[in-house]
Structure 1
């Protein structure tokens, strides 16, 4: 599971290009809609790349077997797990510097996708499919709701401190689970709590996308939403896997 980075500094997009996204909007609607389209275009490429990389790991069996049956595979697996965290720091620093930002974003996406593929490689196909479908439905529903709510003047910036606190509690729960495994019940609790937290983050980050990110922060906006979706998928996957054990 990859926790989201800290916040840094739906509807028919084409037909709504001349209407404000929210009541107190100060900038040109065309500029903001263009920014949103750019972010979601990058996010779409990230998700397609993730599906492609994870599919290779899942369906090309020698890849997953290498990490299980070879000693060198364990070291490489640990590297892949920590690589996203190592790339995240320079990505945050260079997220406004083209083309370095896109290069780092590609490395970041591939490394996470590879690790997600390894997680799915030893999971039943039915569970993976159910998790993908449910994640897609939740993401689309929450995105449309946030755009609808923003148009009517609702603001979700207040969620930031609560979500961050909940994320810290979840991290402590994971640490306790690693030291003192509690079995199936703890996995079910973890999956349910994590899913709720990252549902909240999808709303929070979509609201930031609509109102707060500047136009040159498109890479970082895509990173936050991408991590929200990946973490939501892994949380639902954990929940379904725990229900089958």
Structure 2
């Protein structure tokens, strides 16, 4: 009898050490396939949501790349963007995109309004990217694009890795909001006082750091906080982070 009890205890110990405790619902692995420790929802449902969001983001980036390429290779666009009217057009597009972000807070979960807002938002940022590329050399654009891909992939993988070990970056929210206000004030000073090329380079470096942090923060929200019906909102957040990171890296050239 004692031998049987001893064998049963050893078997239970082996199961617990190997992460295969059947009663806890784990099916191999320490967290039973969970994206982060203590996850209460079905991991497969969350993974499906993450794949859907990244599919939308990839579509947005592809559309942006096409628009930017067409604008870059169109001489009329290059000339137009060097005029005052071209600069005003870019400002109008940014204002529209900013307004759409606020509207997304109300209609982001309502179909088909969420898709309509996302389409207009994507078009606005794609034109802004195209306008920025039209004023840059091709080599500079390729370098900025390559760095954007490298930083985005690295930070995304890091955030997933950190989440699997219990890290939560939700605390970054208030700090990013404050940093955004400071950066916006810096833009106003640059616009009013024209601080020069060096100030633009400093702004671009700070913006690159800020939107890299935003990328970590929004990826963390994608893993933990966004609900399943907020896939459009999540896609817009990540798409905006990537585009703004690219524009910041493009501005570091100081051209």
Using structure 1 for the length normalisation, give the TM-score.
0.86
Confirm whether residue 178 of structure 1 aligns to residue 201 of structure 2.
no
Distance 1:125 1:152, change over 3 A: same
Confirm whether residue 31 of structure 1 aligns to residue 74 of structure 2.
no
In structure 2, what is the equivalent of residue 236 of structure 1?
Answer: 249
Distance 1:126 1:67, change over 3 A: closer
Choose the corresponding residue for 2:100, options 63, 81, 87.
87
Shift in Å, 1:83: 2.1
Shift in Å, 1:175: 0.9
Q: Secondary structure, in 3 states, of the residue corresponding to 1:117?
A: helix
Confirm whether residue 21 of structure 1 aligns to residue 40 of structure 2.
no
Which shifted more, 30-39 or 181-190? 181-190
Residues 187-239 of structure 1: per-residue CA shift (max 9 Å, x gap): 12111111111111111110010000000000000111111111111111111
> Which blocks of at least 5 consecutive residues in structure 1 are unaligned?
1-17
Q: RCO greater where, 1 or 2, for CA within 8 Å and sep 6 or more?
A: 1
> Which blocks of at least 5 consecutive residues in structure 2 are unaligned?
1-31
Shift in Å, 1:88: 2.6
Shift in Å, 1:26: 0.4
Shift in Å, 1:183: 1.4
In structure 1, what is the equivalent of residue 61 of structure 2?
Answer: 47
Distance 1:198 1:49, change over 3 A: same
Aligned partners of 1:186 and 1:126: how far apart in 2? 23
Q: How does 1:13-162 map to 2 (within 5 A)?
A: 19-68=33-82, 76-162=89-175
Shift in Å, 1:181: 1.8
Residues 34-88 of structure 1: per-residue CA shift (max 9 Å, x gap): 10001000000000011011111111222343454696x5665443332212333
Which shifted more, 147-156 or 76-85? 76-85
Aligned partners of 1:180 and 1:25: how far apart in 2? 50
Who wins on radius of gyration, i.e. which is larger? 2
Shift in Å, 1:116: 1.4
In structure 2, what is the equivalent of residue 206 of structure 1?
Answer: 219
Aligned partners of 1:167 and 1:89: how far apart in 2? 16
Q: How does 1:219-234 map to 2 (within 5 A)?
A: 219-234=232-247
Using structure 2 for the length normalisation, give the TM-score.
0.83
Aligned partners of 1:227 and 1:129: how far apart in 2? 19
Q: Number of matched residues?
A: 224
